Structure 1
Amino acid sequence: MNGISNSNDIIPTFDYTGKIRILESSNFEQSQQLKDQCREFVDKITEFSTIVSSFLDLLKEKSEQIEKEKLKAIGLRNKAEKEAENRKILEQRLIILIKERKAEFDRLTAQYDSLVKIEQEQASFIETLSGK
């Protein structure tokens, strides 16, 4: 080089505390402020990330609870629908049973009436035979 300092050359300087700095003190202070601001930004991003992570965990937990309750509701609905079908089947069976019992009752009533009639005829026949 020709002895003339280029603007790109690094020139050491001293700050107000007497420390050697490669940057000028104003640039160094600005870089320190930028460093502090970056650190604050990173801290805030980390905090935000933690909050988002907690929120996502909470959402996942709630979605699992919702899914569980949804399946439970579907099961209860299916059970209720099945119960309605079971009641209809039971009602049909009971109607058939009632009809069968009524038919049996009618048959037994007719048989009873027939036996009463035969008893009366036999009593009448016995009476005529005994000559009364």
Structure 2
Amino acid sequence: MSEELEKAGLYIDDIYRLRVQDPAIANETNELRDECLEYADKLQEFKKYAEDFHNIISGFAKDVEKEKLRAIGTQNLLKTIAKERQAEQQVYQSKIHEKNIELERLRNEYQYLQRIESEQQEIINNFLLNQ
């Protein structure tokens, strides 16, 4: 009788229920559905892990970008300080040069005045001797 039912496209399963589909195919279909559901669950879990990983990496990227900008700012500050010191050094060297020129001028003036003093002293001495 089961062959006659099969020819008509009807099947009897393990618990003696009448089915339109072959029980072996129905079992494989159920197994495939269970595997697909398990695969979908694992895929969702993987998607969650990937999103978590992306969020963590994005956080690190933001931190790295902040540190990069801070480092660039510090570098620029150091360059500015170096340029200021160089400018300051040039100002001081210019002042030293000016003071050296003034010192030389004053030495020459002092020597000139010493010569004048000695000449005047000589004139005074000659005058006193001649009187």
**What TM-score does the superposition give when structure 1 sets the normalisation length?**
0.72
Partner deviation per Cα, 1:19-57 (whole Å, 9 max, x = no partner): xxxxx4433322221111111111111112111211111
Corresponding residue number in structure 2 for 1:44: 46
CA RMSD of aligned residues (A): 2.2
- Aligned equivalents of 1:15, 1:105: Cα separation in 2: 127
Instruction: Quote how far apart the aligned CAs of 1:15 are.
Output: 8.2
Partner deviation per Cα, 1:63-94 (whole Å, 9 max, x = no partner): 11111011111111122122222222222222
Query: Greater helix share, 1 or 2?
Result: 2
Corresponding residue number in structure 1 for 2:28: 26
Equivalent of 1:96, from 95, 98, 122? 98
Aligned residue identity for 1:98: N
Change in Cα spacing, 1:15 to 1:75, as seen in structure 2 (3 Å) is farther
Tell me how many residue pairs correspond in the alignment: 110
Deviating above 4 A after TM superposition, structure 1's stretches of 4 or more consecutive aligned residues are 13-16
**What TM-score does the superposition give when structure 2 sets the normalisation length?**
0.72
Aligned residue identity for 2:49: E
Aligned residue identity for 1:70: I
Aligned residue identity for 1:75: L
Corresponding residue number in structure 2 for 1:122: 124
Which runs of no fewer than 5 residues in structure 2 stay unpaired?
A: 1-11, 16-25
Which runs of no fewer than 5 residues in structure 1 stay unpaired?
A: 1-12, 17-23
Change in Cα spacing, 1:30 to 1:68, as seen in structure 2 (3 Å) is same
